[in-house]
Amino acid sequence: MDIIALLLIFAAVLGLQAYVFGRFCFYKLDYRCEFSVPEAHEGDNIYLIETVYNCKLLPVPWLKVDIHSSRWLDFAGSCSVVSQEGRRVTSSFLLKSYQKTTRKWKLKCLKRGVFTTENVTLVSGDLLNYRVVSEPMAVNARLMVYPEIIDLEEIFEPVNLLQGDRIVKRWIVDDPFMVAGAREYTAGDPLRRVHWTATARTGKLMVKKNDFTSWHGRTVLLNMQSVLYEYEDTVDKEMAELGIKTAATLLDRALKEGTAVRFITNGCTSSGTRDPIITGEAADRGHFTELFKILARLMMKNVMDFETLLDEVMPELENTEVAIVTAYLSRRICEQADLLGQAGNAVSIYLLDEVYEGGMKPETDGLYIYKLQKFGEGKNSKA
């Protein structure tokens, strides 16, 4: 009889604790989740900060939080589950009465974009896991990741320096009319740049060292088409990402130089639009912030043929630096680049990979090839 009574008491205690903890585990429980910074660059290490506050006398024996994030935010030291574009991370807590706990997850931004953790799932229960309850909670943690800033001199080579055994590192855009000094001659330097006065003074062959050019502004044109004939969706997304990084680096340089800049692309930031992106020209930090936000949100789509876009914007481009970032060169793009140069613009072309129509070449000296892709030898070049 005593054993039966003890069993009944034990069962009543188990049922009572299961009811109490299951009923009140989320009562007066405050949970917050936020990123340590609202904005970052691709490759940056930041933190996701969780804060849990048990604002009641009843302790929480265990609490699990399922965080649903993007696979492009790599949580260091966590056992996360990755599926397609998502990542699920589980965080565990044990909270005493009126205890506040803060946890920081170190994460690395693997890719540009806008990442939002709208909701998390809280899971808790009684001491013996007899009763398990869950509850969704809105957190609305938002992070904007800008494209990576790359070293243009390291990964792009001027076409006119590809001949010979030695590649000379130089600034991407210099002005032959702005001499900043002299340096020793190296293989690949044209003879017209020889500094005869410095040569006579030092006894060594010296060439003129040019400074940055001075123009009224800069226009960066980004082609989101990875091949010549491409309908809407970008085929080579990796190459398109390289183009976005190149454009971001050109914009970043303009910001540091205090140069007014505009951005033009045949890409889009929302699937419903059919208009290309054409911004105004400005040099203030707010303008550059908006440009980087556009780059962060760019989709792998194009809304207009790049040659058509060039035809539309060419009348507006005059006495400015024009930087064209594209994965290929067609005969029409070369003709348009030459026309831009004849209109008094300084034209540079950053060729990401492919070269079409072998033998053609724009007249501009500012042609730069990625990864030693020699002019006319692209895998899709045409004889």
Phi first, then psi, for residue 205 (nearest 5°) are -70, 115
Which helix (H) or strand (E) is 349 found in, with range?
Answer: strand 346-351
In the predicted structure, residue 113 carries a pLDDT above the cut 90: yes
Average pLDDT over all residues of the chain: 83
Q: Tell me: the pLDDT tens digits for 26-77?
A: 899 999 999 999 999 999 999 999 999 999 999 999 999 999 889 899 987 6
> CA neighbours within 13 Å on the CB side: how many for 117?
28
Asked if residues 330 and 354 have their Cβ atoms less than 8 Å apart, the reply is: no
Q: Tell me: the pLDDT tens digits for 96-110?
A: 999 999 999 999 999
Q: Tell me: the pLDDT tens digits for 338-377?
A: 999 888 888 999 998 766 655 566 776 678 888 655 433 4
Residues found in the chain: 383
Strand partners, 14: none
Quote the CA–CA distance of 245 and 41 in Å, as a whole number: 11
Three-state DSSP at 40 gives strand
pLDDT at 330: 86
In the predicted structure, residue 146 carries a pLDDT above the cut 90: yes
Structure tokens at 36: 């340590």
Q: Tell me: the pLDDT tens digits for 282-307?
A: 989 999 999 999 999 999 999 999 99
Single out the residue of 153, 172, 144, 152 nearest to residue 292, CA to CA.
144
Single out the residue of 137, 86, 89, 88 nearest to residue 115, CA to CA.
86
pLDDT at 268: 93
What's the gap between Cα 46 and its chain centre?
A: 15
The residues, any chain, with a CB within 8 Å of residue 285's CB and separated by 6 or more, are: 255
Asked if residues 72 and 7 have their Cβ atoms less than 8 Å apart, the reply is: no
Residue 333 falls in which region: left (phi positive, over 0), alpha (psi -120 to 50) or beta:
alpha
Radius of gyration over every alpha carbon of the chain, rounded to an integer in angstroms: 30
Asked if residues 76 and 51 have their Cβ atoms less than 8 Å apart, the reply is: no
Distances (CA, A) of 266 to 225, 232, 279, 304: 8, 10, 12, 5
Strand partners, 132: 125
Structure tokens at 303: 């809304």
Strand partners, 117: 141
Structure tokens at 19: 């009811």
Position 253: which residue type?
R
Quote the CA–CA distance of 369 and 366 in Å, as a whole number: 10
Quote the CA–CA distance of 182 and 195 in Å, as a whole number: 7
Three-state DSSP at 19 gives helix
Structure tokens at 35: 């990123």
Quote the CA–CA distance of 301 and 267 in Å, as a whole number: 6
Structure tokens at 124: 């808790």
Position 165: which residue type?
D
Strand pairing class (100-109; 45-54) = antiparallel
Structure tokens at 12: 């009543």
Single out the residue of 154, 48, 45, 50 nearest to residue 110, CA to CA.
45
| Bigger pLDDT: 369 vs 137 | 137
